[in-house]
Amino acid sequence: MKNIITIQHTQSIHHTNGMVGSWTDWDLSELGIQQANNIGKNLSNQISDKKFVMYSSDLLRAKHTAEIVGKYLNVAPIFATELRERNLGKCVGKSVQWLKDNMEVREKYIDDKMFSDAESRRDEWNRLLPFFNELMTNKYENIIVVSHGDLLSVFNTMWLGMDIEMLNRSEIFGLAGGVSFMHETTDGKRIIKRMSDMSYIK
């Protein structure tokens, strides 16, 4: 049985300066650092009786969130490129306004790409899937995953056993700093017990 906690990285500088996140290495804002500390404190009060392994995106805003939270849980994050946010290609390093003004394709379906050199949702799914399958079959029962909004939306869909085509019709998005709790029952049913709980950042 798996007990998985996902954490969407806390407020990043790109949330406040109008820049694209994606594969840029924006760090956390001062508020984001405080939010990550609060998540660590609140989680340590709740799960201190269990040993967790933590995986995190290696992009700075997620990495920093994981390092801060891990300090409270006495666990060192394992960094994985598979947990990176979706790569938006040529608009990486540009502003959100530039993205809007220069978007090549307005995404509607999972194979659409905003820019010719960007990842589609299917590309993102295929990047994550081997990692997800390994996560579900490895020896660890209690797992924390620290990542990004778009990537965790794909993760949530996988967790519930949905087909990739579901992303054409639905989304399971969280919020920056949201903490979700997932549990696998003895008969293999996967449950999201709490989704993007924002109380942990306070």
**pLDDT, tens digit, for every residue of 101-137?**
999 999 999 999 999 999 999 999 999 999 999 999 9
| Angstrom distance (rounded) from CA 26 to CA 21 | 7
Q: Are strands 3-8 and 179-184 parallel, antiparallel or unpaired?
A: antiparallel
Query: How far is 188 from 112, CA to CA, in rounded Å?
Result: 33
Burial of 9 per CB tally in 10 Å (0-12, 13-18, 19+)? buried
3-state helix, strand, coil in the chain (%, to 5): 40, 20, 40
Q: What is the CA radius of gyration of the chain?
A: 16
Phi, psi dihedral angles at 148 (to 5 degrees): -125, 165
Looking only at the bridges linking them, the beta strands covering 142-147 and 78-80 are: unpaired
Measured CA to CA, the distance from residue 182 to residue 136 in angstroms comes to 12
In order along its 202 residues, the chain shows pLDDT tens digits of 999 999 999 999 999 999 999 999 999 999 999 999 999 999 999 998 889 999 999 999 999 999 999 999 999 999 999 999 999 999 999 999 999 999 999 999 999 999 999 999 999 999 999 999 999 999 999 999 999 999 999 999 999 999 999 999 999 999 999 999 999 999 989 999 999 999 999 9
Confidence at residue 157, expressed as pLDDT on a 0 to 100 scale: 97
In this prediction, residue 13 carries a pLDDT of: 97
